[in-house]
A and B are shown apart, each in its own frame.
Chain A
Amino acid sequence: MQGMTIKAALFKLRAFIALIFIFSFFAFTSDAFLSSTNLIILTKHVAINAILAIGMTFVILTAGIDLSVGSIVGLCGMISGLLIDKGLVLEFFNLVIYFEIWVIVIISVVIGFLFGCVNGFIITRFNVAPFIATLGMLYVARGFALLINDGATFPNLIGKEELNNTGFPLIGSGTFLSLPYTIWIMFALALIAVFLTSKTKFGRHMYAIGGNTKAANLSGVNVNGVTLLTYGLSGFCAGVVGVIVTSQLISSHPATGTTWELNAIAAVVLGGTSLMGGRGSIGGTIIGAFVIGVLSNGMILEGVSSFWQKVIMGTIIVLAVMIDQLQTKFMSKDD
């Protein structure tokens, strides 16, 4: 077992190899694909899914699942919209407070984090299956998103000079070194997440819990605390996405993020993270998100019908997991 055979190494990098393959295919067959405008649009799309998928990876590493992230995206977006458009209304004091943009961003993201923590609390304290707890939250958070403005959107969120809350659209449209902020945010979060999973106690404990909860518990790992925090982080990522998307659209819609949790799960799974927990990486997840993004972008450029796009995407996700199962067999033979 000293080192790895080339075969095993190739197998490990298969998602990356697949990505290169898909990328080259579209680069050769489509003229528009390699243009810098297209690549930036593509990456901007990927970033949204990738950020959700980063949080989802934490949860799935502990053998959990978070179905509520799409709804939390919608909710946090609506909260940003509310705070910019109407401010924080304190009827009791007859007071309306308008915050500066950075405060609004923090509030929205913290609310995402707290909703995630509620998921984690229900799962760890009341022993509710993650699927059920977060399915409930999927409805609850969406309901709140709709309640905030009675189902209506907050349009035109540019803020007012006199209220000192302008500049919100910049988050979604601004650039640094000619790359959109959105992409920088994704890379920053990805780097932090790689660090968390590979270099910290918290990360090690996530793997341990996903690998063998009983052994982790007996080794003194704070199983409930770590698990709760992973859901909190997943909610945090959803909050970030909520803010970014709202800013990109300069308006918040209560239905934003519907079914996005499924894209995030797909990216995680494509990246080689096991739904059984304990195996996987952030790097894999980012690659998974890019595979999905490149595929759908390329298919659009190729003029593939959107109905066929769905068929192809679904097939690829299932194929990826089938190959994963082969790997498990392959590796156990290797030992």
Chain B
Amino acid sequence: MEKILEAKNITKNYPGVVALDDVNFNVYKGKVNVLVGENGAGKSTLMKILSGVEKQTSGNISLNNRNLEINSTKDAEENSIGIIHQELNFFPNLTVHENIFIANEILNTYKTINIKQQISLTKKLMLMLKQDIKPGSLLETLRIGQQQIVEIAKALQKKTQILIMDEPSSALSKNEASVLFNVIKELTNQGVTIIYISHKLEEIMQIGDVITVLRDSKFICEEKINKIDIPWITEQMVGKRSFESVNNTKTKIGNKIIEAKSIFLKKSKSDEYLLDNISFDSKSGEILSFYGLMGSGRTEILEIIMGLIKDFDGSIYLENNQLKHTSISKRISNGIVLVPEDRQGQGLVQCLSVSSNTLLSKISKNFRDFFLNSNQEKKAVKQAIDYLGIKVSNQDNLITSLSGGNQQKVVIAKALETEPKLLMLDEPTRGVDIGAKQEIFYIMKKLADKGLSIIFVSSEIKEVLAVADRVLVLAKGKITKELIGSELTEDSLVKYSQG
């Protein structure tokens, strides 16, 4: 096998975080080079560096044995490195050929766009990919799988030799995915090198040639796919070290707090289901976890319970009373609260202080108190800071001056101030350092022992194993398995999440 690209001793520091720590990554020509690792392992950062979005703090990249400086996405493009992001970047209001040639239009002598040639080149590209997509179709009328093919065509049109694909199959149906795999095979036959990031271990075994594993920002190993199996990958990804388990002591599990009965949620503008007949309950004193890959419907379940998603079928009961309204403020006063997945987007008000953020939900709940009482506020916030161990010198500091872990604790504090019966946490450890993760787990356990019902969503196996009393495994919007006690193992979580 011939190395086309080699990244050596790559380190990337962000303020307070080491995202990549002395990582080596070899890319072999004409092969499907798979990169795996749990969320936060550093895969995306490495790809950002290769595609010129970010610059490494130290380390070298060489292309065909020549040293390569990638300072911008343009540099990457000029060296034939292309990337297809997980979130597709296209213009839904433009046609296929307009998308493919965007900012790269073919002009004729009068400097107007040569549509004829763009169309004929697009046809040629589609022929090469063996796909039947019309150059004149609007992108928004295509299925996701086809939109992805257009992205690939766009990369090829730029003479891309190394194509990075970041979880390309996560949004695809089985059929669409198999089309994609054929396209990938076609590309490698023509000498294009693929860097493939995925969480789906079965498809990695099916299409990969070489696998590189990252864990906790470090390079773990590189191996040929035909020498390994799925349990090996899981072991390398998850590692031996794990969190101190918080679910070893028996909790007193009490009454049913929330119950969902046959919930269906349709994808907008299609007949596919994001949630397909979901029924479950959670009890006081219990930490229930939903485990599943991205797009398995984890977040949607929480958002339905919170009242954020309103148009679904099915019913939700809080302590045996059906919740008919979907007003978020009413649900909060009923005792339901969500710590959202997107901390910056949905969790925090960036321009407010630690104190104001902490009390935002509480002051919304107490409708009668129109006036704020700053002494009471101060006391309440101080209590919350002590209880959760938030590190902040002054509660009037801006929330953005805290580290990720402490920001997250403020979001949790905000939720706790509403005195909930059900606390839902969606990926509460994302972007949080390991020490703070463990602290958050202890807090969850402490709260469960106080009689709260806790629903915990995570895509990290170790976390689920360390925290959950009971796990519902999700795949493609369905609950595929309920795991309790000794059934809770890495292998079973991986197995049932593949659907």
Contacts and interface: CB of A to CB of B under 8 A. Distances in A.
Contacts of A215: 340, 345-349, 360
A201 B351 contact: no
A279 interface: yes
Interface stretch (A133-141, A202-210, A301-309): A202-210
Nearest to A221: B364
A200 interface: yes
Contact of A1 (B338, B374, B394): B394
Interface string A1-28: 1100000000000000000000000000
Nearest to A331: B398
A215 B345 CA distance: 7
Contact of B308 (A211, A218, A335): A218
A278 B372 contact: no
B372 A199 contact: yes
Contacts of B306: 218
A201 B393 CA distance: 25
A234 to B, nearest CB: 20
B57 interface: no
Contact of A201 (B352, B369, B401, B414): B369
B351 A207 contact: yes
Q: Sort chain A's interface into a size bin.
A: 20 to 34
A212 B346 CA distance: 7
Interface in B327-376: 328-329, 332-333, 338, 340, 345-352, 356, 360-361, 363-365, 369-372, 374
B348 A204 contact: no
A2 B393 CA distance: 7
Contacts of A210: 351
B372 A220 contact: no
A216 B352 CA distance: 11
A211 B350 CA distance: 6
B372 A219 contact: no
Contact of B346 (A1, A204, A218, A220): A218
Given A201-B370, A202-B370, A220 B365 contact: yes
B184 to A, nearest CB: 37
Nearest to B396: A1
Contacts of A218: 306, 308, 328, 338, 340, 346-347
A210 to B, nearest CB: 8
Contact of B371 (A200, A216, A221): A200
Contacts of B414: 219
A208 B329 contact: no
B363 A204 contact: yes
A214 interface: yes
B360 A221 contact: yes
Contacts of B329: 220-222
A102 to B, nearest CB: 26
A221 B398 CA distance: 20
Contacts of B397: 1
Contacts of A278: 349-352
A200 B370 CA distance: 6
Given A214-B346, A217-B308, A222-B364, 10 more contacts: A2-B393, A201-B369, A205-B364, A207-B351, A208-B352, A208-B356, A211-B351, A220-B365, A278-B352, A335-B398
